[in-house]
Amino acid sequence: MSLLPFIEIEPFCNDKQQNMPANAVVILLHGLGASGHDFEMLPKQLNLPKDSCIRFIFPHAPQIPVTANGGYVMPAWYDILEMTEIRKVNEQQLINSVNEVHKLIQRELDRGISSERIIIAGFSQGGAVAYHAALTFPQKFAGLMALSTYFATSNSIKVTPENKAIPIQIYHGSRDPMVVEAQGRRAYDDLVSMGYQVDYKSYPMEHELCFEEVADISNFIQIHLL
């Protein structure tokens, strides 16, 4: 089975100077024009307990032309047709990326990780894929984190009942010029109307991560995986 290229960071015990066997996984998808390397330092920044046995996986999106960027070829999970507040996207390409993420999830299940020990997360364009990937998978996850993103398929998604009670955390910057906060708020409203329990956090930042947000991400991971 072919897989997306990705960065994989195994849990590490500083005291014993050796890797520990993972019993939980966080899969985090990057944004448009970026790569998994953007989050390579995040596990250290989370300051998780030393005995945390969490594997981090940061996939790389394929290189495709993006219409909204003049057809320029760049890493993207799907084509964006119009960079309007309500994004017009190539939904089939988004679904294709979801299928690739599901393959990575299945790889973890095959390695002995329970689905209930997996958190799916995504930043910006990667967050739109993360929403769909988590809510359409036929096994229960530990949680879903949506960072500075939007719910591109809220009107068409066919969710599975297994994740109807999944903990969902949305993080957004109040000064975000790329994905304005109204898009994050709309995702929150759509999810609530669909019956999900959602927590929303806003920060005085632009299209980025801030220290307070990283601390909140760490807290979410510790609550649901430790």
The per-residue pLDDT for 144 is 99
Strand partners, 85: none
The per-residue pLDDT for 13 is 56
3-state helix, strand, coil split of the chain in percent (to 5) is 35, 25, 40
Q: Is 77 in contact with 126 (CB distance < 8 Å)?
A: yes
Give the burial class of 35: count Cβ atoms within 10 A of its Cβ; 0-12 exposed, 13-18 middle, 19 or more buried. middle
Going by C-alpha positions, the residue among 62, 74, 73, 69 that lies closest to residue 99 is: 62
37 has catalytic annotation: no
Give per-residue pLDDT as tens, 155-202.
Answer: 999 999 999 999 999 999 999 999 999 999 999 999 999 999 999 999
The per-residue pLDDT for 79 is 98
Going by C-alpha positions, the residue among 28, 124, 25, 143 that lies closest to residue 76 is: 124
Strand pairing of 63-66 and 72-75?
A: antiparallel
The per-residue pLDDT for 51 is 86
Catalytic residue (choose from 115, 148, 176, 218)? 176
176 has catalytic annotation: yes
Catalytic residue (choose from 97, 124, 154, 218)? 124
The per-residue pLDDT for 16 is 55
124 has catalytic annotation: yes
Residue 154 tokens read as 């809220």
The per-residue pLDDT for 157 is 98
Catalytic residue (choose from 60, 190, 207, 216)? 207
All domains in the chain, ordered by first residue: 6-225 (3.40.50.1820)
The per-residue pLDDT for 1 is 73
What is the Cα–Cα distance from 213 to 209, expressed in whole angstroms?
Answer: 6
What is the Cα–Cα distance from 36 to 56, expressed in whole angstroms?
Answer: 11
Averaged in consecutive runs of 10 residues, what is the pLDDT profile of the chain (226 residues)? 94 64 97 98 94 95 97 98 93 98 98 98 98 98 98 97 98 98 98 98 98 98 96
